């Protein structure tokens, strides 16, 4: 499917889901400078401010020309979401090739520490600020503070955090699912901070699907997330899997997520499970609109090669029923900004409710069931945008 020239020329549209946003844009360095300001606001708990920058960056990512003093005056300054403050930063960048505040922030110890802390799974800006306020600055400080056990090589040891119940109940109840401890997350950090190349994403996908094939042949799957948007290196792997197969006559297979994770764990492929959602007890929501997909957030490791252990990776498995498969694919392809505006567009402009688990009309809760990804766009009255142009 080709993204139309109509979309390509629609770069000033208000919603990110109307614009074509490439992975790398003509104003990439400017976007990186502004992203430091966005990140800084986010780390300092200024969410509204951060969102303002995020919207500005998103509109610049879709702008198809290098910004110059000329087109800045005639066009760029008039793009939506570029308020006075942000316009002055852009101006500064045009003049000097950098933004002074971004440079200052980059150098600040506080920014560096907060940024570092939030690379640890489960630590958000607020927790990071708490840690900073009690004097913690480095990862070593944290290892000491949280009393993480070190191995003979001086490297932190990850305690296993498996939360499947020992008696192999099909789906453990939600109350039995503790969050991954900071201790475990800290020990996993060394691995999890490393980026995942595309070839390894594909290898992980085929290993997972081969295991699933043994449980239930004929399930569909799509690798989503940044990989699908064309990123060369990902922070994690996100896979949308159909909870139905040719084998099941296309009907939803109950508890497939839990069964697969159990199997992967037994095979030594999954080492930690951070979250495992059960299926809904009664499918009560199925008649109108069910708001959550079955999913597992895990740590995954490929089998060793020549006795050499592989890097542990974050793997998210999202299971979708026949009705929800294509909304799940769209909802998990991202980017975050694209998704945010997709939901907003659906609500404000179309009287629809969109999320990964389905699409309904607001006034009568009528469920819309798309038969393809293109169908999702059609039903929301949006022009098709290729996944590689959803990098808002």
Q: For the CB of residue 284, give the shortest distance to ligand DGT in the complex, in Å.
A: 20
Query: Footprint of Mg ion on residues 226-285 (CB under 5 A)?
Result: 226, 236, 238
CA distance 14 to 113: 35
**89 labelled catalytic:** yes
Q: What residues between 317 and 336 interact with ligand DGT by CB under 6 A?
A: 331-332, 334-336
Nearer to ligand DGT, 102 or 356 (CB): 356
Query: Which residue among 226, 258, 358, 387 contacts ligand DGT (CB under 6 A)?
Result: 226
| Cβ atoms of residues 247 and 307 within 8 Å | no
235 scored as a contact of ligand DGT (CB under 6 A):
yes
Nearest distance, CB of residue 105 and ligand DGT, angstroms = 21
**What separation in angstroms does the CA of 135 have from each of 109, 132, 175, 266?**
12, 5, 34, 41
The encoded tokens of residue 193 equal 């901070």
115 binds ligand DGT (CB under 6 A): no
Report the run of H or E that residue 355 belongs to, with start and end.
strand 352-355
Among 216, 231, 289, 313, binds ligand DGT (CB under 6 A): 231
Which positions from 158 through 187 interact with ligand DGT, judged by CB under 6 A?
Answer: none
Q: Which helix (H) or strand (E) holds 243?
A: strand 237-245
- Please state the length of the chain: 392
Cβ proximity of 90 and 30 under 8 Å: yes
Cβ atoms within 10 Å, residue 17: 25
Q: Which residue is nearest to ligand DGT (CB)?
A: 334
Contact between 365 and 289 under an 8 Å Cβ cutoff? The reply is yes
Query: If 0-12 CB within 10 Å is exposed, 13-18 middle and 19+ buried, where does residue 81 land?
Result: middle
Binder of residue 35, out of Mg ion, ligand DGT, none (CB less than 5 to 8 A by kind)? none
Show Cβ contacts of residue 351 under 8 Å, excluding neighbours closer than 6 positions.
Answer: 361, 362, 363
| Residue whose CB is less far from ligand DGT, 86 or 329 | 329
Query: Which residue is catalytic, options 6, 61, 89, 168?
Result: 89
**Any contact of residue 339 with Mg ion (CB under 5 A)?**
no
Using the rule CB under 6 A, give the single segment among 16-24, 35-43, 224-232, 240-248 that binds ligand DGT. 224-232
Which CB atom, from 113 or from 234, has the smaller least distance to Mg ion? 234
Please give the residue ranges that form the binding site for Mg ion (CB under 5 A): 225-226, 236, 238
Please give the residue ranges that form the binding site for ligand DGT (CB under 6 A): 225-226, 231, 234-236, 238, 331-332, 334-336, 339, 355-356
Residues tagged active-site: 89
């Amino acid at each position: 499917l080709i993204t139309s020239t109509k979309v390509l020329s629609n770069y000033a549209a208000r919603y990110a889901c109307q614009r074509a946003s490439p992975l790398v844009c003509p104003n990439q360095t400017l976007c990186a400078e502004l992203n430091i300001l966005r990140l800084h606001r986010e780390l300092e708990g200024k969410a509204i401010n951060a969102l303002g920058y995020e919207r500005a960056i998103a509109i610049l990512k879709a702008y198809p020309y290098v910004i110059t003093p000329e087109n800045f005056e005639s066009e760029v300054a008039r793009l939506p979401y570029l308020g006075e403050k942000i316009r002055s930063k852009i101006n500064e960048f045009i003049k000097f090739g950098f933004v002074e505040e971004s440079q200052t922030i980059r150098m600040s110890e506080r920014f560096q520490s907060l940024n570092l802390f939030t690379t640890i799974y489960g630590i958000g800006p607020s927790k990071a600020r708490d840690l900073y306020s009690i004097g913690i600055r480095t990862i070593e400080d944290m290892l000491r503070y949280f009393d993480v056990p070190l191995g003979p090589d001086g490297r932190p040891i990850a305690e296993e955090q498996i939360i499947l119940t020992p008696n192999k109940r099909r789906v453990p109840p939600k109350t039995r699912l503790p969050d991954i401890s900071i201790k475990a997350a800290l020990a996993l950090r060394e691995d999890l901070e490393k980026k995942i190349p595309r070839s390894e994403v594909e290898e992980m996908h085929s290993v997972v699907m081969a295991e699933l094939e043994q449980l239930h042949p004929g399930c569909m799957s799509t690798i989503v997330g940044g990989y699908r948007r064309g990123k060369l290196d990902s922070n994690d792997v996100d896979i949308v899997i159909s909870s139905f197969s040719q084998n099941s006559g296309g009907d939803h297979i109950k508890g497939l997520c839990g069964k697969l994770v159990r199997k992967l764990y037994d095979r030594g492929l999954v080492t930690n499970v951070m979250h495992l959602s059960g299926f809904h007890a009664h499918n009560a929501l199925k008649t109108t609109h069910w708001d959550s997909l079955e999913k597992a957030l895990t740590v995954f490791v490929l089998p060793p090669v020549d006795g050499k252990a592989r890097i542990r990776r974050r793997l998210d498995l999202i299971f979708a029923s026949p009705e929800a498969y294509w909304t799940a694919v769209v909802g998990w392809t991202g980017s975050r900004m694209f998704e945010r505006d997709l939901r907003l567009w659906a609500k404000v402009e179309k009287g629809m409710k969109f999320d990964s688990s389905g699409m309904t009309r607001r006034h009568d809760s009528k469920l819309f069931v798309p038969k393809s990804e293109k169908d999702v766009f059609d039903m929301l009255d949006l022009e098709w945008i290729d996944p590689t142009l959803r990098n808002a």
